[in-house]
Structure 1
Amino acid sequence: MKLWITFLLISLSLQAQTNFYEISFDNAVHHEAVVQVTFPHIKSNTLRVQMSRSSPGRYAIHEFAKNVYGLKATNGAGEPLEVQRDDPYSWIISNTDGTINVEYILFANRGGGTYSQVDLTHAHLNMPATFMYAEDLQERPIKITFNARKDLGWKVATQLKHEEGNTFYAPNLYYFMDSPTEISNFKERKFIVGRQTIKFVLHDPGTEAEFDAYWDKVQKIVLQEEAVFGELPKYDYGIYTFLACYMPNVSGDGMEHRNSTILTDTETLANGGMKGNIGTVSHEFFHSWNVERIRPADLEPFRFDKANMSNSLWFAEGFTSYYTNLILERAGIITAEDYIKGLNGTFNYVWNSPALQYFNPIEMSNQAPFVDAATAVDPVNHENMFISYYSYGSVLGLALDLSLRQNDLNLDDFMQLMWKRFGKTEVAYTVEDIENTLSAYAGTDFAENFFQQYIYKSEMPDYNTLLKQVGLTLNQAAEKAYFGTSLKETETGLEISRNTFRGSPAYAAGLDKGDLITSIDGTVMDSKEAFNALLADKSINDILEVIFIRFGNEKKTTVRLATDPTYSIDFSEKNKKEALKAREAWLAKK
């Protein structure tokens, strides 16, 4: 009897320490939700509640508080409480009887991986963009009730633990904030892998047959990525949930979470999404190992009130990007030819960037708070000083994989070792830990050479040799002339649409973004077709007379054409058996 009483008292104590949330969508037609929060058993004279400024998976600042209004606070008896403000993100509420209730209206109309969207098609919720929290109470459990619109056939999908009805549970604030939720009249598929459930929730206007075809691809991706690491992570509550919303009212995005991912795009399965959206599935599911559990130490603990900077995004995001299309090829979703062709854009973006002279991959990772869906009104010079850590890490992943294969090793086995050391144990890693793990796997000399040249510096690996071993060639069009601008057609000429690249002929000639090119060598430039036709007849070192308009004034300059720096990765016409065998081992289904 005493044991039962003790258990009851502990249960009641935990219940008293639980924060309760409730959200309703009566005015969904106008993108509003009403949020109610109860913070019980408050002992301090005041309680600070706040809206997040960052979101798990994102690295930039997002001012979620701007969409909150109509806030009211009451005590346990329903009496109004005094509310004060000392910054734009917080509300300081006086405490009178130990219970603080907060109610507010949230405006939400961007469906993606960061913000929330409420309309008559769904309630698409990212928790940091939706719910206030009290930092002092972040270790408390949370229960939340979603008042889903029965008249719209809405159901609730989330990685939160189901309690009953539409009530769910999170063990603490971080898990709650890391648990996006899709509430709509969605479809659902699931399958079992190693006693765990992989579930796919789809909000899309298409048919069941379209979903079945897409679901078949998803299952192949899951199994191929499991093969890379040798096992699935141990998902909390035994379930991993894809939350896919392919609707014309959302924004294209993908965002990983511990036991789920958000997948959004305006392309429905019937309107290009069957092919166009599957790459995001591959990328985000790979994150359930790499980022969520193989986790950079500088992202721990995650802060909701500031930007989170990491040195390791070239590995966490970039190596995941390397595997994105490789997994699609191994799963038979794209061909080997399509995979190799797809390498070219990223390869050229990275290795022809002037930004290599300024930042190495670690320093590019540090730029994330300024680029990861960050907003600013002032122009930036990313063409010349920034390379996406997604792309930079992806081509380094290719280089490391092919370098390891020269020694009868491979990146899959290295990723498995990272998983065993840091993912399965959930011990956060540093850049030095990655290097030390590579040393343990491939030898100290190999690891030091790779890191000193390509991670701590921004040198280019010997791709000619690396690609040759798998029957590929790296080529450049040595006779093709290069001007060096991005152009868009206007009614009065060709406008330079981006900053010109440092070192390009256009840059050297003083041409800049916004300049309107009206003629070259006396030929009117009224279309990109006319520009390309003129350039095709020119040779390297030819000097062109360019007439352009800047700030309303006509100006003239001369451009000396250079060699086109564009690389092309192609299948070799002459392959040895060893190269074909190596390519097969690299690209083969696991």
Structure 2
Amino acid sequence: MKLWITFLLVSLSLQAQTNTYTISFDNAVHHEAVVNVSFPEIKSKTLRVQMSRSSPGRYAIHEFAKNVYGFKATNEAGETLEMKREDPYSWEITNTDGTINIEYILFANRADGTYSQIDETHAHLNMPATFIYAESLQERPIEITFNTRKDLNWKVATQLKHTQGTTYTSPNLYYFLDSPTEISDYKLREFKVDGQNIRFVLHDPGTEAEFDEYWEKVQKIVLQEKAVFGALPIYDFGEYTFLACYMPNVSGDGMEHRNSTILTDTETLANGGMKSNIGTVSHEYFHSWNVERIRPADLEPFKFDRANMSNSLWFAEGFTSYYTNLILERAGIITVEEYVKSLNGTFNYVWNSPALQFFNPIEMSNQAPFVDAATSVDPVNRENMFISYYSYGSVLGLALDLSLREKNLNLDDFMKLMWSTYGKNEVGYEVSDIEKTLSTYAGKEFSKDFFNNYIYASQMPDYETLFEQVGITIERDSSKAFLGATLRNTENGVEVVRNTMIGSPAYVAGLDNGDIITSVNGTPVNDKEIFNNLIDSKNIGDKITIEYVRFGKLKTTTAILLADPTYHITIDKDAKKTILKARESWLSKK
């Protein structure tokens, strides 16, 4: 009896120290939710609560407090508590009886991987954009009840642990903020892999048959990505959840979380999404290994009150991007021809960028807080000083895979080694640890050469030789003339719409973003197709005279045309059998 009473008291004590949240959506038509939070047994004289300024998987600052209003705090007796604000994103509340209850209104109308959206189609909740928290109480468990709209047939989908009804729990604040939630009249599919449940929650206006077709592709992706690493991660509560919202009122995005991912796009399955959305599924699920568990040490723990910078996004995001389409090909979702064709855009974007002279892949990764859904009003020069670490890492992953295959090794087995060394036991890694693991797998000289040339510097691998071993050709059209300006049609002429790229004929000629080209060699130009045809008719080395308008004044410049730097990557249809065998080893289903 004594033991039972002790257990009961301990149990009640733990229960009392749980922070509880409730969210209601009565005014969803106007994108509002009402949030109630209770912090019991507060021992300090004051309690600081705050809204997040960043979100898991996003590296830039996002001031979520801007959408919070009607904020009030009371004690257990219902008496209003004194508050003061020392910064724009927090509230300091005076404690009177140990309990602090808070209520506020949240406005939310952007559904993606960073923000929240509330309307009468759904409540799409990214937790940092939705809920206040007390950092001093971050180790307390959390209980949340979603007061769903029964009139809209809403159901809750989340990686949080279900207790009863629409109530869920989290062991601590960190897990809570990493647990996006979709509340809607969604469809559901699930299957078991090695005793774990893989769920796909779909908010889409389409048919069950369309979902079945899409779900078949998703299952193939799961199994092919498992084959890369040899096993699934051990998901908390034995379950992984895709939270897909393909609706015209959302914004396109994908965002990984520990045991779930957000997938959003305006294209429904019946309106192009069947094909265009599946790549995000491949990318985000790969993150359940690479990023969530094979995790950069400089992102652990993630900081919710500031920007998060990492040296390793070229590997965490970039190598994941390399596998995105490779997995689709291995799963039979796209053809070999489609896969090889898909290499062109990323390859040209990276290797024709002037930014290579300014930053290596590590330094490009450091730019994430400025570019990852970051907002600013001043113009920037991204065309000349930045390459996405997604793209840069992707083409380096390709180079490493093909380089390893020259040694009868492969990137899959290297990723398995990263998984067994760092991911399986969730030990954070540094860039030097990736180099060390590659040294263990492929030899010290190989690893040193790859990192010194391509990671610590910005050199370009010998892709011609690497591609040749798998029956792929890469070439440039040395006879095609090139100016190097991105154009669009306007009422006044052809407008330069991006910063011209350093070293291009347009840049050397002094053309800049916003200039209106009116003639070439005296020939009037009022359409970019006419302009492009004029350039195509010229030879490399030709000098052309361009008239343009800048700030209302007519100006003239001359440009000397160079050879088009565009790479063309295609399948070698005459490859020998031994080469075809190597290509098959690279691209075939695992």
TM-score range, shorter-chain basis? over 0.9
Q: Give the whole-Å Cα distance in 1 for the aligned partners of 2:407 and 2:13.
A: 59
Q: Displacement, 1:2?
A: 3.3
Partner of 1:31: 31
Partner of 1:163: 163
Q: Displacement, 1:579?
A: 1.1
Q: Displacement, 1:99?
A: 0.3
Q: Displacement, 1:213?
A: 0.3
Aligned: 1:132 with 2:132: yes
Q: Give the whole-Å Cα distance in 1 for the aligned partners of 2:271 and 2:573.
A: 37
Partner of 1:388: 388
Partner of 1:211: 211
The one-letter code of the counterpart of 2:390 is Y
Q: Give the whole-Å Cα distance in 1 for the aligned partners of 2:260 and 2:460.
A: 36
Partner of 1:188: 188
Where 1:547 maps in the other structure, the secondary structure is strand
Q: Give the whole-Å Cα distance in 2 for the aligned partners of 1:65 and 1:323.
A: 36
Where 2:56 maps in the other structure, the secondary structure is coil
Q: Give the whole-Å Cα distance in 2 for the aligned partners of 1:140 and 1:579.
A: 58
Partner of 1:495: 495
Q: Displacement, 1:7?
A: 2.1
Q: Give the whole-Å Cα distance in 1 for the aligned partners of 2:523 and 2:327.
A: 48
Q: Displacement, 1:423?
A: 0.6
Partner of 1:6: 6
Q: Displacement, 1:14?
A: 1.1
Partner of 2:431: 431
Q: Displacement, 1:5?
A: 2.5
Partner of 2:117: 117
How do 1:125-524 residues align onto structure 2 when only pairs under 5 Å count? Answer: 125-524=125-524
How do 1:88-127 residues align onto structure 2 when only pairs under 5 Å count? Answer: 88-127=88-127
Q: Displacement, 1:10?
A: 1.9
Residues 251-291 of structure 1 show CA distances to partners (whole Å, capped at 9, x for unaligned) of 00000000000000000000000001000000000000000
Partner of 1:57: 57
Q: Give the whole-Å Cα distance in 2 for the aligned partners of 1:350 and 1:495.
A: 25
Q: Give the whole-Å Cα distance in 2 for the aligned partners of 1:325 and 1:10.
A: 52
Where 1:555 maps in the other structure, the secondary structure is strand
The one-letter code of the counterpart of 1:577 is K
Q: Displacement, 1:65?
A: 0.3
Q: 5+ unaligned residues in a row in structure 2: which ranges?
A: none
Where 2:192 maps in the other structure, the secondary structure is strand
Residues 193-213 of structure 1 show CA distances to partners (whole Å, capped at 9, x for unaligned) of 000000000000000000000
Q: Give the whole-Å Cα distance in 2 for the aligned partners of 1:524 and 1:231.
A: 63
Q: Displacement, 1:577?
A: 1.7
Where 2:14 maps in the other structure, the secondary structure is helix
Where 1:190 maps in the other structure, the secondary structure is strand
Where 1:559 maps in the other structure, the secondary structure is strand
Q: Displacement, 1:3?
A: 3.0
Residues 416-440 of structure 1 show CA distances to partners (whole Å, capped at 9, x for unaligned) of 0000011101001000000000000
Q: Give the whole-Å Cα distance in 1 for the aligned partners of 2:529 and 2:564.
A: 18
Q: Give the whole-Å Cα distance in 2 for the aligned partners of 1:7 and 1:24.
A: 34
Q: Give the whole-Å Cα distance in 1 for the aligned partners of 2:384 and 2:48.
A: 43
Q: Give the whole-Å Cα distance in 2 for the aligned partners of 1:14 and 1:336.
A: 57
Where 1:310 maps in the other structure, the secondary structure is coil
How do 1:507-546 residues align onto structure 2 when only pairs under 5 Å count? Answer: 507-546=507-546
Residues 349-377 of structure 1 show CA distances to partners (whole Å, capped at 9, x for unaligned) of 00000000000000000000000000000
Give the aligned length.
590
RMSD: 0.6
Q: Give the whole-Å Cα distance in 2 for the aligned partners of 1:99 and 1:106.
A: 22
TM-score (norm 2): 1.00
Q: Give the whole-Å Cα distance in 2 for the aligned partners of 1:23 and 1:392.
A: 41
Where 2:214 maps in the other structure, the secondary structure is helix
Q: Displacement, 1:575?
A: 1.2
Q: Give the whole-Å Cα distance in 2 for the aligned partners of 1:380 and 1:466.
A: 35
Where 1:87 maps in the other structure, the secondary structure is coil
Q: Give the whole-Å Cα distance in 2 for the aligned partners of 1:453 and 1:297.
A: 23
Q: Give the whole-Å Cα distance in 1 for the aligned partners of 2:204 and 2:161.
A: 25
Where 1:105 maps in the other structure, the secondary structure is strand
Q: Give the whole-Å Cα distance in 1 for the aligned partners of 2:577 and 2:8.
A: 72
The one-letter code of the counterpart of 1:32 is E
Q: Displacement, 1:531?
A: 1.3
Q: Displacement, 1:573?
A: 3.6
Q: Which deviates more, 366-375 or 515-524?
A: 515-524
Residues 428-485 of structure 1 show CA distances to partners (whole Å, capped at 9, x for unaligned) of 1000000000000000000000000000000000001000000011100011100000
Partner of 2:582: 582
Q: Displacement, 1:42?
A: 0.2
Q: Give the whole-Å Cα distance in 2 for the aligned partners of 1:283 and 1:6.
A: 50
Q: Give the whole-Å Cα distance in 1 for the aligned partners of 2:226 and 2:68.
A: 41
Task: State percent identity of aligned pairs.
Answer: 76
The one-letter code of the counterpart of 2:401 is D
Q: 5+ unaligned residues in a row in structure 1: which ranges?
A: none
Where 1:255 maps in the other structure, the secondary structure is strand
The one-letter code of the counterpart of 2:71 is L
Partner of 2:555: 555
Q: Give the whole-Å Cα distance in 2 for the aligned partners of 1:6 and 1:231.
A: 43
Q: Which deviates more, 67-76 or 527-536?
A: 527-536
Partner of 1:22: 22
Where 2:526 maps in the other structure, the secondary structure is coil
Moved over 3 A (4+): none
Q: Which deviates more, 5-14 or 392-401?
A: 5-14
Q: Displacement, 1:189?
A: 0.3
